[in-house]
């Protein structure tokens, strides 16, 4: 049964370089929060559908100069790092982790701290037009559950991982799992607790197996997490060849590349979403492709820690699933709009190179349409969820955005490009998740 109809101009990506504009279409949403029908302006019953919805007080009309987009999918957020967004990004990754990030995450052993931080984070993400988030939590189950409760309360679609990190060589005494058994037992407890918390909820958060990254984990923990992922058939998230340092670390400890290590432990699956992947060789890319693993491109974070720029265009050309992530707080911004723009800018730098001594890579530049695809369709496919597209059978996860300049001579491409370059938080006027207005 139709419970809401949203009327307006909407854009939805249909492929990595193709976006469709549907002028003044009607998005009909059923009582499960799914899009059941799109009624184009040319449909014979268009006026009738509008009238019925109006009479039942179920019509939401985007105002003049507003555009409807799919809600964005953020594939990589460290929830506990929100208070440090933008801090110490001049440090190398390994020092930033030890001196800023681990000390902050350790503070979440106090649930009061989580209760203070998480409501503001969830609100900020929604206010920026993000409707689904794949989160890293901390090693503390209680605080991860506070994050889950907040997502349910505010109506953010979420997937949440309890972080596992037990390697004493790479993690501090004050913030680590004290044995592999403890890391695995707490992960399993979190899967149970999160499942209980979400039972019966339309936005029940999905538990995610989360080895922090190869350096943080012992072999036993990596192997155990691979087994848990298989046993419970769960998504996996981690960092993959994020920087030269991480890539080199795997070679020194295992004599092989990061991707091969994750694969050896059963962690490179078609339900895995691996962040960054700036350092993959052609063989690593082939492995990722063979395993149907998704990659989260975090372009702002990569400027600081990535030692390079992900070859997005090549990966998409090779049919590898790619989405977008903010990587709070390695990325300073909670906005995927900022990351869309950085994705385009970074790809241009990859193509042009950085000066006479360092040539660029031909055919690296991506368009704003491709960046839009990453933040919507790419994210949905990476998570195997019916999100990121405005079409029947998909969740009604939407944002309504105010255009800053309405230029009547714009064709649909220019209008979208203008919109995606110019939109800021204040321009995101409405956010809808699962058919419910949450902003
Ligand atoms: N590698 C391991 N942990 C982290 C983290 O918290 N942020 C980033 N960017 N990379 C990581
Ligand atoms: Fe990260």
Convert the pLDDT of each residue in 74-119 to its tens digit: 999 999 999 999 999 999 999 999 999 999 999 999 999 999 999 9
pLDDT given for residue 367 in this prediction: 98
Which residues face 294 on adjacent strands?
273
Taking the CA of 211 as reference, the closest ligand is 1
Q: For the residues 66-71, what does the mean pLDDT come to?
A: 98
To the question of pTM greater than 0.85 for the whole model, the response is yes
Cβ atoms of residues 140 and 150 within 8 Å: no
**What 3-state class would DSSP assign to 202?**
coil
Cα separation, 349 vs 52, in Å, equals 52
Handedness of CA 415, 421, 426, 429 (dihedral sign): positive
Cβ atoms of residues 212 and 238 within 8 Å: yes
Cβ atoms of residues 399 and 129 within 8 Å: yes
**What 3-state class would DSSP assign to 76?**
strand
Strand 35-39 with 59-61, pairing: unpaired
- Closest CA to ligand 1's atom 9: 330
- Closest CA to ligand 1's atom 7: 330
DSSP state of 314: H
Give the residue from 1, 94, 119, 101 showing the smallest Cα distance to 52.
1
**What 3-state class would DSSP assign to 205?**
coil
Taking the CA of 74 as reference, the closest ligand is 2
Is 276 a pocket residue for ligand 1 (Cβ < 6 Å)?
Answer: no
Collect residues with CB below 5 Å from ion ligand 2. Answer: 327
- What Rg do the C-alpha atoms of the chain give, in angstroms? 21
Which residues face 76 on adjacent strands?
none
A 10 A CB-CB count for 282 gives 9
Cβ atoms of residues 72 and 336 within 8 Å: yes
pLDDT given for residue 357 in this prediction: 85
Taking the CA of 325 as reference, the closest ligand is 2
pLDDT given for residue 317 in this prediction: 98
In residues, how long is the chain?
439
Cα separation, 60 vs 27, in Å, equals 10
pLDDT given for residue 318 in this prediction: 98
Cα separation, 370 vs 368, in Å, equals 5
Give the number of the atom of ligand 1 that is nearest the alpha carbon of residue 305: 9
Q: Omega before 173 cis (within 30°)?
A: no
Best residue for ligand 1 mutational test, from 80, 139, 212, 258 (most atoms within 8 Å of Cβ): 212
Locus of tokens 């992900």: 310
Q: For the residues 415-425, what does the mean pLDDT come to?
A: 97
How many angstroms is it from 213 CA to the middle of ligand 2?
9
Best residue for ligand 1 mutational test, from 82, 167, 330 (most atoms within 8 Å of Cβ): 330
Please determine, for residue 308, whether its predicted confidence score (pLDDT) is greater than 90: yes
pLDDT given for residue 358 in this prediction: 86
How many angstroms is it from 77 CA to the middle of ligand 1?
10
Containing 397, the helix (H) or strand (E) segment is none
Cα separation, 150 vs 167, in Å, equals 31
Contacts 24+ apart (CB under 8 A), 354-362: 361/311
């Amino acid at each position: 049964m139709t419970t809401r109809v949203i009327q307006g101009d909407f854009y939805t990506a249909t492929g990595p370089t193709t976006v469709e504009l549907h002028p003044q279409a009607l998005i009909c949403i059923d009582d499960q929060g799914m899009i059941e029908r799109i009624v184009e302006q040319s449909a014979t019953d268009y006026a009738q559908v509008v009238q019925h919805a109006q009479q039942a007080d179920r019509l939401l009309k985007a105002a003049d100069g507003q555009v409807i987009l799919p809600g964005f999918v953020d594939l990589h957020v460290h929830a506990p790092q929100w208070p440090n967004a933008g801090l110490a990004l001049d440090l190398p990754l390994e020092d930033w982790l030890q001196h800023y990030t681990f000390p902050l995450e350790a503070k979440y052993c106090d649930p009061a701290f989580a209760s203070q931080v998480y409501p503001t984070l969830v609100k900020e993400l929604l206010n920026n037009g993000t409707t689904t988030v794949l989160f890293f939590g901390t090693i503390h189950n209680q605080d991860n559950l506070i994050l889950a409760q907040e997502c349910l309360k505010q109506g953010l679609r979420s997937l949440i991982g309890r972080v596992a990190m037990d390697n004493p060589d790479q993690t501090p005494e004050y913030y680590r799992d004290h044995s592999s058994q403890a890391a695995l037992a707490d992960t399993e407890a979190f899967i149970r607790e999160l499942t209980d918390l979400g039972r019966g909820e339309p936005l029940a958060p999905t538990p995610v197996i989360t080895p922090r990254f190869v350096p943080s984990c012992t072999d036993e923990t990596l192997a155990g997490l691979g087994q848990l992922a298989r046993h419970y058939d769960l998504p996996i998230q981690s960092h993959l060849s994020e920087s030269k340092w991480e890539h080199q670390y795997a070679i020194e400890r295992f004599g092989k590349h990061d991707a091969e290590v994750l694969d050896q432990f059963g962690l490179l699956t078609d339900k895995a979403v691996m962040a960054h992947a700036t350092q993959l060789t052609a063989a690593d890319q082939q492995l990722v492709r063979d395993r149907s693993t998704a990659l989260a491109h975090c372009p702002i974070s990569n400027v600081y820690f990535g030692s390079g720029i992900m070859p997005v265009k090549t990966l998409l050309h090779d049919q590898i699933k790619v989405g977008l992530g903010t990587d709070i707080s390695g990325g300073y911004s909670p906005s995927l709009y900022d990351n869309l723009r950085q994705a385009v800018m970074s790809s241009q730098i990859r193509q042009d190179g950085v000066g006479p001594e360092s040539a660029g890579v031909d055919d690296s530049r991506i368009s704003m349409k491709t960046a839009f695809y990453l933040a919507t369709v790419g994210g949905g496919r990476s998570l195997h969820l019916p999100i990121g597209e405005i079409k029947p059978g998909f969740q009604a996860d939407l944002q309504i955005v105010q255009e800053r300049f309405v230029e009547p001579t714009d064709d649909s491409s220019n209008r979208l490009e203008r919109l995606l370059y110019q939109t800021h938080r204040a321009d995101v006027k409405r956010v809808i998740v699962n058919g419910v207005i949450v902003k």
